[in-house]
Structure 1
Amino acid sequence: MAGDEVPRPLILLLMYLLMKRRKDMNDAEAKRRNEVRRRIAHRQHFLQRQRRMLMMLIAYSTSCPCNHRTRVWTTIKCSDWWERVVMNEFQPHDWLEKFRMSKDTFLFLCGKLKARLAKRDTHLRPALPVEKRVAVALWRLATNVEYGTIGALFGMGRSTVCKCVREVCHGIAALLGPAFLRPPGLQELDEAAGLFERRWGFPHCVGVVGSLHVPIVTPSGNTACYRNSAGWLSVVLQGTVNGLGQFWDVCSCFPGSTEDSVILQNSTLWAAATGGALSPQPPRPLMGRPLQYLLLGTEAYPLQTWLLKRYPPSQRLTPGQQAFNERLNRTRGILDATFLRLKARWQCLHKHNDCGLDLVPSMILACCILHNVCEVHRDSVLDEWLEEVSRHRCPQPCASLPVTAEDPAAEEVRSLFCEHLLQQQNE
């Protein structure tokens, strides 16, 4: 069967072709693996470069677009940015520009929050320092930047940033609220009223109350109750300020569709004022009549013996009523200025806040407390912050008249003030 045998040269040729095919396949596989590695390395290089550029843009020009100063620290990796740059190289202007407060105020804030925010190291990782946790929260409140961007800047995950913001806001409300956000006591009422009379010329006044709508993004639940009369979604901040432009009462838990009078009547301020918290002992006289101290409000609030508002504009107003309206409008300017400074410091209150609705009231409360802390420590508000808020100001909803009945005795009190202010004007 010699004819059935395969020639030896043919066997060798087949073996050569098989070996060459296997070698070509191995070379192609190795080439494919090298190409994958090259693309992965290129992608990693691109992401690292993008991350460094993002860090430099945020840390270098957040609040001052005209700032062209060159800094060595703009090229440092973001994981070291906090330890090597902020704590060692930041100048006083940098602290004020980035964190809306001086370094001394920042360290004071960290000292007050350390008892609540300090964490212990674990076997897996060291705990974040209190200073870094507070800085992350302040950056969020001051810039309203997304959590992911802040995480890239401070070298932490998005969920960690969210946790820091939540814990710091709750800690500020719990530990600093009792000291920096409280109504004047009986011994402080005279001083508060004297400040209003000296600075604004309105006697017997210890506060100005008003509301501010804070814009939010579309919530996942019922959006109708958050849509205000101006047509956009908001949460209402009801604030009461003293003659220095500092808050002493804040209510921030009502959706945007709620009327101002309803918010007032369901707040602790209403319960305290109607219970006599604004009444000094004994009551101080005005035009020979003893009166309790009072607040000034807008037309949206019901007229009370402790809450006065201006007369509706009319050509039939008496000279005393006109003098009352002019003095009240001038005095209420302290509240508008305070709201403006509040939003200028903490941009999360005038930009659409994308936090969860469960955190927004605590965030608003924390911003009001931080505003008082900065005012007490005399930290400046830069003009460019005020200009930015003025350029992008959301149109506040028009105040509607209260549907509740007003106190008949309040008109007599308001008339007494008209007589007093007209007498001062004539003198």
Structure 2
Amino acid sequence: MNEDDRVRTLMFTMTYMLMKRRRDVTNMDVQRRNEIQRRIRHRQYFLQRQKRMLMMMTVAGGLSSSVSPGPWSGGVRGPTRPWTSTQTTDWWERVVAGHHEGFQPCDWLDKFRMSRRTFFHLCDRLRPRLARQDTRLRAALPVEKRVAVALWRLASNVEYRVISELFGVGKSTVCGCVRDLCHAVALLLRPLHLRCPPGEAELRDSAGRFLADAGFPHCGAVVATLHTAIITPSANPSEYANSDGLMSVMTQVCINGQGQFWDVCGSFPGGTDPAEVLQNSTLWAHAAEGELSPEPPPLFMGRPLRYVLLGDGSHPLQPWLLKAYPEAGTGTVPALPQHRRTFNRRLEGARRLADDALLRLRSRWQCLSKRNDCGLDLVSTMVLACCILHNVCESRGDAFRPEWREEAARAETRRSSARPRSAAAAEPEGRAEDVRRLFCDYFQQQEGPLSF
């Protein structure tokens, strides 16, 4: 390389370094100006917020220069109030919390879907998670009012605006109460009221109820799916379209003979295959390991056999999971013999007990029966919380009003229940079919098959 080339290379390098330096300095100046402007906007925001707070406190009587000085001037601070622009909270403060004689036990059931005794029991259980502290600017909502606001939303599925006006709180406060209650129920009450695997006594009692009410013996629980209608999500909407073309989230539930839930598995897009959900759930792992039956297994038809679960046509047949035989007319399936038709009839009778429990759940908590407009992150927790609250009400003997069922049934006639499609499959071989055949033999030995 000659001297001229070295000079040009040096000049090019120096020019590049000077231009880079100028660019770095310019970027630093831009970042500094942006930071200054951000701080100015931040300061203006808090100044405006402070002015609004002072105006609200002045209007509410919390700060009055003619009566008493503010806390920053050494005087006595006026009474604080919840942060809201609503005019009155008379209905809650005087009628409900004040034990007004006009608010009867039937009103507790109608408005909050539980008895007064269960309501305050729930408040005591959730108090460690829901209690808030008062501040100098506002008084925290009592736990009882937070629970009432959330239960009203779960029970009626009305808009936040309506609940805001009724309880005298802001719409954002209503949203926060609903979210906090659902998370608190899932965290604090799930270990107490949603146990899987259940104990030996619970399994025995559940099997006894299925035998007494549906004529199906040796059954621990029913595996079913719950579809909750939602608004069309912005991401991957096609995945949430169920078999009826409606937008929903699907939850797998396990229901015992008492109509209570043993297991609740997530909230998946409505188009998810129920068999795939089951095979990837903890329920599958517990059942495959034999944890849903005591050791040694109880006797059935003279041989030790673990308690079985009942599924629908979309679930795979397993030694611990039975489903109905494919009916005639589905593809090349031949006509069923009498003992298999009896098996199908008894199994459907047992599954109807689970369907009735799901209807009671949706009737009590109409946020699951009507279209739920909450975000997908909250819907899954809300479904879990409603199942737990259902168990709480059922275990404490709270009354269930028939008109709730009628209202939920009317709401669901306007949209399909999105039951999974039953695919006609080839007859399975092995131990699973041996277990199903054993139940057919049991029903064949019965003198008078129950009719459903």
Output the CA distance in 1 between the equivalents of 2:339 and 2:88. Answer: 63
Check the 8 A contact 1:142/1:346 in 2, yes or no. Answer: yes
**Amino acid across the alignment from 2:236:** N
Instruction: Identify if the C-alpha distance between structure 1 residues 398 and 245 changes in structure 2 by more than 3 Å, giving closer, same or farther.
Output: closer
Residue range with higher mean Cα deviation, 354-363 or 193-202: 193-202
Q: Does 1:317 align with 2:336?
A: yes
Structure 1: stretches of 5+ with no match in the other structure = 1-75
Q: TM-score, normalised by structure 1?
A: 0.79
In terms of mean alpha carbon deviation, does 83-92 or 106-115 score higher? 83-92
Counterpart selection for 1:376 from 376, 395, 400: 395
Please say if residues 326 and 424 of structure 2, whose CA atoms lie closer than 8 Å, have aligned partners that are also in contact: no
TM-score (norm 2): 0.74
Aligned equivalent of 2:383: 364
Residue 140 (structure 2) aligned to one of 113, 127, 147:
127
CA deviation profile, 1:275-331 (whole Å, cap 9, x unmatched): 211232111222222111110111111111000011111262222112211111111
Residues 254-278 of structure 1: CA deviation (Å, up to 9, x unaligned): 1101011111112111111112112
Name 1:328's counterpart in structure 2. 347
Name the SS of the counterpart of 1:250 in structure 2.
strand
Q: 2:78 corresponds to which residue?
A: none
**What is residue 109 of structure 2 aligned with on the other side?**
96
Among residues 153, 157, 169, which one is paired with 1:140 in the alignment?
153
RMSD, aligned α-carbons: 2.0
Counterpart of 1:313 in 2: which secondary structure? coil
The answer to whether structure 1 residue 159 and structure 2 residue 172 are counterparts is: yes
Could you tell me whether the CA contact under 8 Å between 2:206 and 2:258 is conserved in 1?
no
Preserved contact between residue 99 and residue 135 of structure 1 (Cα < 8 Å): yes
The 5 Å alignment of 1:22-421 reads: 78-87=88-97, 88-89=99-100, 90-183=103-196, 184-314=198-328, 316-393=335-412, 394-401=415-422, 408-421=430-443
Per the TM alignment, residue 161 of structure 1 is displaced from its structure 2 partner at its CA by 0.8
Change (3 A) 1:81 1:202: same
Shift of 1:192: 2.6
Q: Distance in 2 between matches of 1:404 and 1:422?
A: 24
Q: Is the 8 A contact 1:98 1:139 kept in 2?
A: yes
SS of 1:358 mapped into structure 2: helix
Moved more, 154-163 or 310-319: 310-319
For residue 89 of structure 2, give the secondary structure of its aligned residue in structure 1: helix
Q: Secondary structure at the match of 2:184?
A: helix
CA distance in 2, matches of 1:237, 1:421: 32
1:422 aligns with 2:444: yes
Q: CA deviation at 1:205?
A: 0.6
Counterpart-to-counterpart distance in 2, 1:425 and 1:210: 30
1:200 is displaced (CA, Å) by 2.5
User: Which residue of 1 is the match for residue 36 of structure 2?
Assistant: none
2: CA distance, partners of 1:257 / 1:82: 42
Letter in 1 for 2:94: R
Change (3 A) 1:416 1:332: same
| Contact 2:312/2:422 (<8 A) preserved | no
Structure 1 letter corresponding to 2:398: D
Matching residue of 1:32: none
Partner Cα separation in structure 2 for residue 402 and residue 301 of structure 1? 9
Q: Following TM superposition, by how much is the alpha carbon of 1:150 offset from its aligned partner in structure 2, in angstroms? A: 1.0
User: Partners of 2:448 and 2:293 in 1: how far apart?
Assistant: 29
Alpha carbons of structure 1 residues 402 and 117: separation in structure 2 relative to 1, 3 Å:
farther
| Partner Cα separation in structure 2 for residue 249 and residue 78 of structure 1 | 42
8 A Cα contact 2:91 2:166, kept in partner: yes
Whether the 8 Å contact between 2:183 and 2:381 is mirrored in structure 1 is yes
What secondary structure is seen at the aligned counterpart in 1 of 2:110? helix
Q: Identify if the C-alpha distance between structure 1 residues 255 and 119 changes in structure 2 by more than 3 Å, giving closer, same or farther.
A: same
Comparing 172-181 and 282-291, the one that deviates more: 282-291
Deviates more, 1:184-193 or 1:148-157: 184-193
Q: Is the 8 A contact 1:304 1:407 kept in 2?
A: no
How many Å separate the matches in 2 of 1:144 and 1:283?
A: 45
Shift of residue 399 of structure 1?
1.9
Q: Deviations over 1:59-115 (max 9, x none)?
A: xxxxxxxxxxxxxxxxx9642221111122221111111111111110111011011
